[in-house]
Structure 1
């Protein structure tokens, strides 16, 4: 055996301190963005049954949630609204007293250390559950841009630090960027859902956001999971139109896409660790089939390794606690 020539890679794995010394990818609390579902009414903190640990909260419970995030060291939150009233064009999405606008003002007033990201879409606010205006049974792309832009401007007026449009209409970043600039909000960045697949992993979110389409599905505007180059075209368009961040959604089944987007575009890349990915792990952990902490940290680290700079995740509180141990 003395004449064998081979490399001894295990030298750098021998102890935990050695492994830590040479670790290439790091997951930090600052990387995490926590989604929150805010509902109208008072005294509401009700669990989302399909997402253990996630709640609908009314404004009077919002400070409790935000204080917990601050204490844990999570610095960013993305706000989703669940309104009582819905109509054909999603009026409550851009109403000055809409639930998201109220939540943004509340967080800014009482928890100014947090970065507030506003999810900018119409699906939770339309009575048909689609992300745009319906005309003759189809989404009217350009007309929908007008309402989405109004929503973005309304959220910026309320004090949102970042606008995150998720509708996947053609030209949505260009329309929102122009709308924000013309309204005097040129300093507000756009975190585009640039690559958003028509995924089966969204089911629990639709329960939480009450946004299931009342007819058809979203495959005419969200992307085909089989397509790779289409993702690059979508991201490239958003970069050209003025996006400041690029989101890849979902994350886990699209790590290859995330790496390509990261390699091609020099903007911060955001992974969305979506509801189905979250709920599967929670269910398996509750049954004792997996070690939740280990699998969550491995999963989120894989997203960072694939190129994510930030991660939107319902595990944000859990991960913050894990990282303290």
Structure 2
């Protein structure tokens, strides 16, 4: 709190365990400081609404630092969508597929870390924002469309116990621990305009990293795992993938052309650098951040929504509208 009282401080970056994100972000906004908060921005309905309500009371911007929104390939796809190459968007798939058992949820000696505590207590999509980051802008969520309902289902929890049995033996306490968190969570969202979205949580089983982005419209689709596109009337062979890299070059976003060529040495190939450049541009210019509080709350809300649906036997649950209906008239502003 002493830091927030400094008059020579314009912004704060919050990179703490996620249960601290919301109270620290709220404190920052109430003290008039721009907030850049790591993902997720909130982990409960109450936290999401607290962020939105505080912003509306203070008008101090709060940006969840969702770096995958700024990836070079994702921004090129966004340009392609806005130029109509895929036609009207109908469906999207995304995932956070990242085996985190042995370095994030637990340390190398098998001791539980703060993230692992959530796997014992909850069954939900614990980490949904990396997958959703580009999807929100691809699907015009909160600026022309909005999440309407969500249905989620979870597999049993097998992966963590199996990992500890393999590495530490069957008598290790964590090999015997009961974990509520299912290994795979699949959330299915329908939007107000009739689009559909599938979000996968996959962080507890052995696998390479993958985001599995796919965006599909009436004229074709982009598929990130294939690094390919198919566009009706444009792709050279009917019903045959063509490589995405030429489209990446043709539709490269101006943001990537503007940043320092040395940015590639920064985190995630320059993505983290670009994200922070755009955040601090907003701070210096006293303008809205590229990801606003409404998008931050919407992406984070998949955590409690999926938990609710799973607990109700995969029944549909209604998604909160953090824009209070303004999605009908709000215009896209991200990367415009």
TM-score (norm 2): 0.26
Instruction: State the TM-score, normalized to the length of structure 1.
Output: 0.27
